[in-house]
Amino acid sequence: MDVPEVPSKVDPDALTAVLDGRWAELRRGVRAQMAEAQFRDPVDLGVEAHRAQVLDQLRALAGTDRPGLGFDPAYGGGGDVGGSVTSFEMLGYGDLSLMVKAGVQWGLFGGAVQLLGTARHHERYLRAIMDLDLLGCFAMTEHGHGSDVQHLRTTATFVDGGFVVHTPDAVAKKEYIGNAARDGRMAVVFAQLVTGGESRGVHAFLVPIRDDDSGAPLPGVSIEDCGPKAGLNGVDNGRLSFDNVRVPREALLNRFGDVAEDGTYSSPIESDSRRFFTMLGTLIRGRVSVAGSAGSATKRALALAIRYGELRRQFAKPDGDEVVVLDYLAHQRKLLPALAKTYALHFAQEELVSKLHDIDSSAPEEEQRELESRAAGLKALATWHATAAIQTAREACGGAGYLSENLLPGLKADTDVFTTFEGDNTVLLQLVAKGLLTSYKQDFEDLSPLATARFFAEQVVSAVLERTSARKAVELLTEASDTDAFFRRDWQLRLFEDREDHVVEGVAKRLRKAASDPFGVFNSAQDHVLRAGRVHVERLVLEAFASAIERCADPDARALLERVCDLYALSAIEEDLAWFLGHGRLTASRAKAVTSAVNRLCSELRPHARTLVDAFAIPEQFLAAPMLRS
Amino acid sequence: MDVPEVPSKVDPDALTAVLDGRWAELRRGVRAQMAEAQFRDPVDLGVEAHRAQVLDQLRALAGTDRPGLGFDPAYGGGGDVGGSVTSFEMLGYGDLSLMVKAGVQWGLFGGAVQLLGTARHHERYLRAIMDLDLLGCFAMTEHGHGSDVQHLRTTATFVDGGFVVHTPDAVAKKEYIGNAARDGRMAVVFAQLVTGGESRGVHAFLVPIRDDDSGAPLPGVSIEDCGPKAGLNGVDNGRLSFDNVRVPREALLNRFGDVAEDGTYSSPIESDSRRFFTMLGTLIRGRVSVAGSAGSATKRALALAIRYGELRRQFAKPDGDEVVVLDYLAHQRKLLPALAKTYALHFAQEELVSKLHDIDSSAPEEEQRELESRAAGLKALATWHATAAIQTAREACGGAGYLSENLLPGLKADTDVFTTFEGDNTVLLQLVAKGLLTSYKQDFEDLSPLATARFFAEQVVSAVLERTSARKAVELLTEASDTDAFFRRDWQLRLFEDREDHVVEGVAKRLRKAASDPFGVFNSAQDHVLRAGRVHVERLVLEAFASAIERCADPDARALLERVCDLYALSAIEEDLAWFLGHGRLTASRAKAVTSAVNRLCSELRPHARTLVDAFAIPEQFLAAPMLRS
């Protein structure tokens, strides 16, 4: 086998250089700031003290130029989208309440003003938002509409030269809104715009919610506190409702749709639905940031568990010494494939951030949508991985992992909502599948089953059909008879690609029958639809890992990353072994060889486990668990 | 197909009768008490208030005769082991801190006094323990020894007619001890007994830790609070250490080993190791109770998620109505197989409790050990299932599931430790596998890899070899060509049995090579060892479900349970599809048919989902989530 030996000791700094990538300097800057004592974890703080601490930390962040990175340089911003998203990712090493609160303020609220508003909003608000002189909320989700936000029910009706924002009933109450319960002074409120008696779909409005000085809710605005949550209790989530609250005509964030003084509606985008999904598309940074910080939290959990796994001993060996638990195969199997996947997702995330940074606003719509799809898919996989890996890390630390002081309970509780906020993962994977099936040519974020099913009832989907061939499958099978193939990147990549083609084709065939009963057909294929989304993203992730290795100049680090990538690929194959077996891509005996290869890789990577987590360069104060004092 | 139709509406009470089974009356009594306001959930209580509330609730329980059920009638107990364990299971519907605190007091502390002590201890303490006049701890786990308790390091040295209990260093500190931080007055302390300069292995000692009146730690006893935990914050876990604390000779719980006034040691069991594992074996009730209450918490989470899934609507159907989310296949797939498994585990638990209740103390040792193995295995599967199913239930409720008021965060956090306390699940499954391989003839709870591996190095394991045959596999495969076979209980049972035989045989073959390198051979087979434990328990679970159906007289309930059992069996097969494919038990096309069958069962059971959770008859105050007010 032509695989370079991994030296017995690899310098973690060489790995850090590859991991840090394009925004390495910015990452170092965030690490340095987060190492300050004031960014400490909130173990055992009450809700009010925690909220106060997070707001103080937010103000400390505002003292740097990083919060401005995502904003237009014309108004004092940095014009560095990639850096902005990366800095949210890095905050994920610390208290995730701070990451979320920063994300609400600068990513969602500020991002909406920047990207949905026009010069009049930018001039008036951007500087104050960057500096925290204006704290704001992003009020989209309603009690009755979370995934299906196109049908939210708050209204903004044009009357007498301004808008009246109104919550018609309890179902239309804005729900889980960050910054609402305590600190926010203004909200970007998403509402159905009504003018001239006609509804023009969902638009965003800037609505003051609290008196600047006293902090009391303004007349007509009702604010409730969502109360304690599983985690993220440093974020003041609340519910907002509006009783005929008047705002001026200029409160409309009017980049994609405007109302003239006489009430005439105009928009550069004709279709209400397409306009709304274009607006949503601009908000992609939120999802990208959630995926990134989910990755950071996962890294921290694995770093804690692997350090503990190297200290903790249990049961004596024949020679009398007690065995370090990370020397057990079962323990390696819990942590090392999860670590490999964390590396893989990291590189996929980095590639996504680069693409997001580089994309031109004049890029073709398909390209924009492909990027949105990638963000959606990676968010789903990264957050599910965080949930699973942090759970495993907790269990790998036994009783110690259950004590708050050892930090894993906080990580688990804080990240738990990541799988369902900023887009429910199940819905996001459907969106990914839809993009694959339509080559990103349909109204993209229209997630309803009906829209998907109807599309197939009306069209021939020849584009996706017959991309697969029996010949390719046989080739892959034949090559796999040699175990060396398992460790050849091109075989792995072709295997992932072939699986994706086959699954997508299968879904297309199923959905073609949708004319007679669109919902029924869509629903009975839903498991295949979700699988299509997942295997597509897994292919992108493997490709991203392979490209990152190509960029690695240090030969030792590179040799190690090659093995980590093998472990990612082979454990992903092992997880989906039933598919590969059931579709003739692997024989029974080769399937067993996959499991043996994963075991072998676990044992080869065991001596490098500590190096691999040290390479994340997590500030030590976020790893200061008493269980690690030996 | 000869399957009785399920009527459109099944009476949940008929199901409750089957579920409640042998201890139905007791279950009704617990439900009635738990419906009282004082047993409310602790949403948003601080640690101190929560601890106080749980102690008050514990006192209310002590006002009934249920805490005494597990104790000897000669001292005022009920002599009803099954009832005792079932009452702990039922407490799992409510605040799990109360279940754990009750378990510590009456199950572990009281159980140790009852089962490891003799008349002198029973006379003096049992009544006070039942009545809560004496609150106590079970101090086994040490900082350095959790799974490997045989090697714990606290010592009890016989000196001048009594014992000196001592913690030699920080590693020997008693860790995570329930009732220690606040309420306990006495502890059963497990320590290496030393007399005449010789160590006789681990024994249990009654050691007073606090002054009865003031609650201050007694001289020589140090008590620390473990501080906040992920969950179960109503339980006061602490750390105990002893600085040469003197207790009288009678403090030794001397059923299995005693020291005479002159220091002479005597025991009915010669081997130190066998004696210790016999002592541990008597404590089986704790594990059984954890499995049961994990089941109760799972039922509650699924009841919440299914009620919400029937209320929550998202995205419009062709006819304009918004779709109830439980009508989506993906949502059904999240919740219904989990519900079917919950039923299956319930019946397996009930069977286990009955066996535990009925076993005679004079039963052959193999029978005792088979029971211990079953308890260990079910505890592992039930608690992992709880972790996964409660996580899924939370995600199925989206943002609402993340708010503490909606109860799922508490369920998730409280049950999280179940997989690693009362025996780490990974270690427990090893124990199950070992029992299978040795036909329960070895020192049973000696969990060390060395002991397992050495056993195989020394013995021929013909007993387990060749139980499988190629003929059986071919028969199963042939029958499976007819989809009807999937719904035949006997085919399912034979398939599970065949899988178990094959896996156990494979492990035996691997371990036979252990002579040269016991640890290496054991370690490289560890994944197979764990699989053997798991598939064995899955077979027991399916058998228990099948037997329970036989006991069901109501034809409607029975027809419904048949389908639920099919869903359990087929989704378990689907989960392990790679094995069945890779070992020639299913062809590729039949594997796809398994997935279709699971989908079909989900859609058939969808209309009965609410009935199936209502049948658990969970007191409504534990389902009073605001998200369910519509």
pLDDT at B254: 98
The number of CA neighbours under 13 Å toward the Cβ of A119 is: 1
Query: Chain A closest CA to B438's CA: distance in Å?
Result: 20
pLDDT at A630: 65
| Best CATH choice for the domain A12-131 from the list 3.10.20.30, 1.10.540.10, 2.40.110.10, 3.40.50.300 | 1.10.540.10
Partner residue facing A426 (CB), from B226, B330, B578: B330
Give mean pLDDT, residues B481-510.
93
Q: Across the interface, do A519 and B323 touch by the CB < 8 Å criterion?
A: yes
Q: pLDDT tens-digit profile of B552-567?
A: 999 999 999 999 999 9
Return the residue of B nearest to A525 by Cα: B329
Q: Across the interface, do B147 and A314 touch by the CB < 8 Å criterion?
A: yes
Contact of A443 with A277, CB cutoff 8 Å: yes
Query: Chain B closest CA to A34's CA: distance in Å?
Result: 24
Backbone angles phi, psi at B176, to 5 degrees: 65, 30
| Residue of B147, B519, B589 to mutate, interface with A, max A Cβ within 10 Å | B519
Element housing A259 (H / E):
strand A258-259
Give the count of beta carbons closer than 10 Å to the beta carbon of residue A123. 12
B458 or B161: which leads in pLDDT: B161
Structure tokens at A244: 């005929």
Q: Across the interface, do B403 and A591 touch by the CB < 8 Å criterion?
A: no
Confidence of residue A460 (pLDDT cuts 50, 70, 90): very low
Return the residue of A nearest to B327 by Cα: A523
Q: Across the interface, do A315 and B416 touch by the CB < 8 Å criterion?
A: no
Lowest mean pLDDT among A441-450, A613-622, B123-132, B333-342: A441-450
Lowest mean pLDDT among A621-630, B397-406, B464-473: B464-473
Return the residue of A nearest to B232 by Cα: A402
- B328 to chain A: which residues are within 8 Å by CB? 449, 523, 526
Q: Which is nearest to B122 in space by CA: B74, B189, B66?
A: B74
Q: Which is nearest to A415 in space by CA: A442, A386, A440?
A: A386
Contact of A398 with B394, CB cutoff 8 Å: no
Q: pLDDT tens-digit profile of A529-545?
A: 999 999 999 999 999 99
Question: Would the CATH topology of B12-131 be identical to that of B136-281?
Answer: no
Q: Is residue A44 pLDDT above 60, yes or no?
A: yes
Q: pLDDT tens-digit profile of B126-150?
A: 999 999 999 999 999 999 999 999 9
Contact of A552 with A16, CB cutoff 8 Å: no
- Put residue B320 in one of left, alpha, beta given phi > 0 → left and psi -120 to 50 → alpha: left
Q: Across the interface, do A404 and B592 touch by the CB < 8 Å criterion?
A: no
Query: Chain A closest CA to B76's CA: distance in Å?
Result: 35
CA B17, distance to chain mean position in Å, is: 23
Residues 6+ apart with CB under 8 A from A146: A175, A424, B314, B398, B399
- B387 to chain A: which residues are within 8 Å by CB? 391
Residue B416 CA to residue A245 CA, distance in Å, equals 45
Q: Is residue B165 pLDDT above 90, yes or no?
A: yes
Contact of A191 with A139, CB cutoff 8 Å: no
Partner residue facing B402 (CB), from A151, A394, A416: A416
Partner residue facing B578 (CB), from A147, A412, A577: A577
Q: Is residue B288 pLDDT above 80, yes or no?
A: yes
Q: Across the interface, do B582 and A599 touch by the CB < 8 Å criterion?
A: no
- A151 to chain B: which residues are within 8 Å by CB? 316
Q: Across the interface, do B416 and A412 touch by the CB < 8 Å criterion?
A: yes
Partner residue facing A420 (CB), from B228, B398, B412: B398
Lowest mean pLDDT among A275-289, A397-411, A455-469: A455-469
How many degrees, rounded to 5, is the angle at CA A576 between CA A495 and CA A425? 105
Query: Chain B closest CA to A517's CA: distance in Å?
Result: 9
Q: pLDDT tens-digit profile of B38-68?
A: 998 888 889 999 999 999 999 999 999 999 9
Q: pLDDT tens-digit profile of A229-267?
A: 999 999 999 999 999 999 999 999 999 999 999 999 999
CA-to-CA separations, B485 to A54, A522, A581, B561, B611, in angstroms, rounded: 59, 28, 22, 18, 27
- A236 to chain B: which residues are within 8 Å by CB? none
Q: Is residue A55 pLDDT above 50, yes or no?
A: yes
Q: Across the interface, do B599 and A420 touch by the CB < 8 Å criterion?
A: no
Partner residue facing A527 (CB), from B145, B330, B447: B330
Query: Chain B closest CA to A503's CA: distance in Å?
Result: 13
Q: What is the ipTM of this complex?
A: 0.95
Q: Is residue A445 pLDDT above 90, yes or no?
A: no
pLDDT at B284: 92
Residue B299 CA to residue B390 CA, distance in Å, equals 9
- A314 to chain B: which residues are within 8 Å by CB? 145-148
- B325 to chain A: which residues are within 8 Å by CB? none
- B523 to chain A: which residues are within 8 Å by CB? 327-329
pLDDT at A273: 86
Residue B278 CA to residue B553 CA, distance in Å, equals 40
Contact of A610 with A307, CB cutoff 8 Å: yes
Q: pLDDT tens-digit profile of B437-493?
A: 887 765 544 556 666 665 555 554 444 544 556 778 888 888 888 888 999 999 999
Mean pLDDT score of chain B: 93
Query: Chain B closest CA to A381's CA: distance in Å?
Result: 14
| Residue of B405, B523, B534 to mutate, interface with A, max A Cβ within 10 Å | B523
Which CATH number is A136-281 given? 2.40.110.10
Q: pLDDT tens-digit profile of B324-342?
A: 999 999 999 999 999 999 9
Sign of CA dihedral A566, A572, A574, A576: negative
Q: pLDDT tens-digit profile of B533-556?
A: 999 999 999 999 999 999 999 999
- A599 to chain B: which residues are within 8 Å by CB? 524, 527
Query: Chain A closest CA to B161's CA: distance in Å?
Result: 33
Numbers of helices and strands, H then E, in chain B: 24, 13
Q: Across the interface, do A582 and B591 touch by the CB < 8 Å criterion?
A: yes
Task: Calculate what percentage of chain B has a pLDDT beyond 90.
Answer: 83
Q: Which is nearest to B306 in space by CA: B619, B612, B624?
A: B612
CB pairs under 8 A between A and B: 209
Query: Chain A closest CA to B407's CA: distance in Å?
Result: 9
- B43 to chain A: which residues are within 8 Å by CB? 228
Q: Across the interface, do B329 and A524 touch by the CB < 8 Å criterion?
A: yes
Backbone angles phi, psi at A22, to 5 degrees: -65, -35
Confidence of residue A410 (pLDDT cuts 50, 70, 90): very high
Residue A26 CA to residue A20 CA, distance in Å, equals 9
Residues 6+ apart with CB under 8 A from B187: B109, B136, B137, B138, B139, B174, B177, B180, B206, B207, B209, B240
| Residue of B41, B321, B335, B416 to mutate, interface with A, max A Cβ within 10 Å | B416
| Best CATH choice for the domain B285-620 from the list 3.90.70.10, 1.20.140.10, 2.170.150.70, 3.30.420.40 | 1.20.140.10
Q: Across the interface, do A227 and B404 touch by the CB < 8 Å criterion?
A: yes
Give mean pLDDT, residues B395-409.
97
Instruction: Quote the DSSP letter at residue B218.
Output: P
Q: Across the interface, do A399 and B146 touch by the CB < 8 Å criterion?
A: yes
Q: Across the interface, do A398 and B175 touch by the CB < 8 Å criterion?
A: no
pLDDT at A43: 81
Spell out the domain ranges in chain B: 12-131, 136-281, 285-620
pLDDT at A237: 98
Q: pLDDT tens-digit profile of A563-594?
A: 999 999 999 999 999 999 999 999 999 999 99
Give mean pLDDT, residues A432-456.
68
Partner residue facing A399 (CB), from B413, B420, B527: B420
Return the residue of A nearest to B225 by Cα: A403
pLDDT at B445: 47
Instruction: Quote the DSSP letter at residue A617.
Output: -
Query: Chain A closest CA to B402's CA: distance in Å?
Result: 6
- A228 to chain B: which residues are within 8 Å by CB? 43-44, 403-405
pLDDT at B443: 52
Give mean pLDDT, residues A619-630.
94
Residue A486 CA to residue A597 CA, distance in Å, equals 8
Q: pLDDT tens-digit profile of B223-234?
A: 999 999 999 999
Give the count of beta carbons closer than 10 Å to the beta carbon of residue A388. 16
Q: pLDDT tens-digit profile of B25-34?
A: 999 999 999 9
Return the residue of B nearest to A331 by Cα: B426
Query: Chain A closest CA to B524's CA: distance in Å?
Result: 7
Return the residue of B nearest to A400 by Cα: B176
Confidence of residue A376 (pLDDT cuts 50, 70, 90): very high
Backbone angles phi, psi at A586, to 5 degrees: -140, 145
pLDDT at A467: 53
pLDDT at A458: 52
Q: Is residue A415 pLDDT above 60, yes or no?
A: yes
Q: Across the interface, do A398 and B146 touch by the CB < 8 Å criterion?
A: yes
Q: Across the interface, do B330 and A524 touch by the CB < 8 Å criterion?
A: no
- B572 to chain A: which residues are within 8 Å by CB? none
Q: Across the interface, do B399 and A146 touch by the CB < 8 Å criterion?
A: yes
